[in-house]
């Protein structure tokens, strides 16, 4: 099975034009201009050296719509999917709350976001992708199984985690440094031992969850780790908390892949949170992810864009994040074109397709 790309870049940045079709009403913070600024910042310009550490695909392939829906239904109710689809047929409107405003293109955008996540996870389990940043919207982590919330319709990062654990039957870890707690992601995996969730976030604030004593339940007890931080937390406070949480949870579950809910609204310029983080803080947290991935997941990282609502600060922060993802500190990270040749690994002898995974239940 040939890899999807022959280039030797370490990080694949993927996006899709459909992600721009979700156009909430004027003045809504989760606007297409966010993603446009991010993509501009990741494009090598005439005055900067070629971005040899990453490639940017603005129109990455998506799975067929039926396959995307199949994956969404692993974690979301059909009723939620129908509500989003129906609302987009009669715009403007909203789904489940006035923060989830819907335009004519919102369903397609939400499907593209879920599709990018599913395809990246599939490419990762088939050893065609080693390190990836998904520049997508709408974001993921507030979407619950049966409810859109906090600008999120489908939980793309959770869908990717679910796909990887189904395919490999190995644990994964979702590390979330968005300024808000990922209530949806936590709820989906709260009783599961195979998907760990770490979050550093401002607290108390929206969505209200994420207290330190929310640690999981049943088989999942101890696989959720929340580190709530007071408003005003700076680089040192948030990065130290994140590094400690990652070391603790990572050593406990030894994830096969580290997924990142990469939200940048803890930036001091951001209008929706009251944190004081700079690009240097996001670099430091990204470095912690890279080091954790070198220790436990053979360097595999799948990072997904979440919040960040001051477009230019968001763009600079994402650029810093991707630059750090592209740094190979251990020289152990194989290039995309050779990732399938890793020793002692026969997992891609038969490439998995989405329909195979439908038969595997967790």
Which token pair is 161?
A: 């985690």
Which token pair is 309?
A: 């609502």
- Rank residues 265 and 324 by Cβ distance to Zn ion and give the closer one: 265
CA distance 13 to 236: 28
- Smallest gap from Cβ 265 to Zn ion, in A, equals 4
Report whether 95 contacts 83 (CB < 8 A): yes
Sheet holding 224-229, edge to edge: 54-57, 11-14, 131-134, 301-305, 258-262, 172-176, 195-202, 224-229
- Rank residues 138 and 263 by Cβ distance to Zn ion and give the closer one: 263
Separation in Å, CA 139 to CA 89, 135, 186, 355: 21, 10, 15, 25
- Rank residues 133 and 177 by Cβ distance to Zn ion and give the closer one: 177
- Smallest gap from Cβ 307 to Zn ion, in A, equals 3
CA-based torsion, 122, 185, 38, 290: positive or negative:
negative
- Rank residues 10 and 180 by Cβ distance to Zn ion and give the closer one: 180
For the question of residue 142 being annotated catalytic, the response is: yes
Please identify the residue of the shown chain whose CB is closest to the bound Zn ion. Answer: 307
DSSP readout, 140-187? -TT-BTTB-BTTBSS-HHHHHHHHHHHHH---EEEEE-SSS--HHHHH
- Rank residues 109 and 275 by Cβ distance to Zn ion and give the closer one: 275
Residue from 16, 141, 142, 181 carrying the catalytic annotation: 142
- Smallest gap from Cβ 233 to Zn ion, in A, equals 14
Give the residues lining the site for Zn ion (CB under 5 A).
178-180, 263, 265, 307
- Smallest gap from Cβ 180 to Zn ion, in A, equals 4
- Smallest gap from Cβ 339 to Zn ion, in A, equals 32
- Rank residues 127 and 183 by Cβ distance to Zn ion and give the closer one: 183
- Smallest gap from Cβ 210 to Zn ion, in A, equals 11
Which token pair is 128?
A: 């065609």
CB atoms inside a 10 Å sphere around CB 359: 7
Report whether 325 contacts 113 (CB < 8 A): no
CB neighbour list of residue 111: distance below 8 Å, 6 or more residues apart: 18, 62, 65, 68, 69, 154
Report whether 229 contacts 238 (CB < 8 A): yes
Residues assigned a catalytic role: 142
């Amino acid at each position: 099975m040939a890899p999807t790309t022959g280039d030797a870049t370490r990080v694949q940045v993927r996006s899709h034009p459909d992600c721009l079709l979700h156009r909430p009403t004027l003045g809504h913070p989760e606007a297409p201009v966010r993603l446009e600024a991010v993509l501009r910042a990741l494009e090598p310009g005439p005055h900067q050296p070629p971005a040899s550490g990453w490639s940017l695909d603005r129109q990455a392939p998506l799975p067929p719509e039926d396959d995307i829906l199949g994956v969404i239904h692993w974690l979301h109710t059909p009723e939620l999917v129908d509500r989003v689809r129906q609302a987009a047929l009669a715009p403007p409107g909203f789904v489940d709350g006035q923060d989830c405003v819907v335009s004519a293109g919102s369903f397609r955008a939400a499907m593209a976001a879920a599709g990018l996540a599913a395809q990246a996870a599939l490419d990762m389990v088939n050893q065609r992708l080693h390190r990836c940043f998904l520049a997508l919207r709408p974001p993921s982590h507030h979407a619950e199984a049966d409810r859109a919330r906090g600008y999120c319709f489908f939980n793309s990062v959770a869908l990717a985690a679910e796909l990887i654990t189904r395919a490999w039957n190995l644990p994964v870890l979702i590390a979330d440094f968005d300024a808000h707690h990922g209530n949806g992601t936590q709820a989906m995996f709260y009783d599961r031992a195979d998907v760990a969730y770490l979050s550093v976030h401002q607290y108390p604030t929206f969505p209200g969850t994420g207290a330190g004593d929310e640690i999981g339940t049943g088989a999942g007890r101890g696989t959720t780790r929340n580190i709530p931080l007071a408003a005003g937390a700076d680089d040192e406070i948030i990065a130290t908390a994140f590094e400690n949480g990652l070391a603790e949870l990572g050593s406990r579950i030894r994830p096969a892949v580290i997924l990142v809910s990469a939200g940048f609204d803890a930036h001091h310029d951001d209008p929706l949170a009251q944190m004081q983080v700079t690009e240097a803080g996001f670099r430091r947290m990204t470095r912690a992810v890279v080091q954790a991935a070198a220790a436990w997941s053979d360097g595999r990282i799948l990072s997904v864009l979440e919040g960040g609502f001051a477009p230019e600060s968001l763009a600079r922060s994402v650029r810093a994040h991707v630059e750090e993802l592209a740094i190979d500190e251990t020289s152990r990270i194989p290039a995309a074109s050779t990732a399938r040749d890793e020793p002692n690994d026969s997992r891609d002898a038969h490439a998995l397709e989405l329909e195979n995974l439908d038969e595997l239940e967790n």
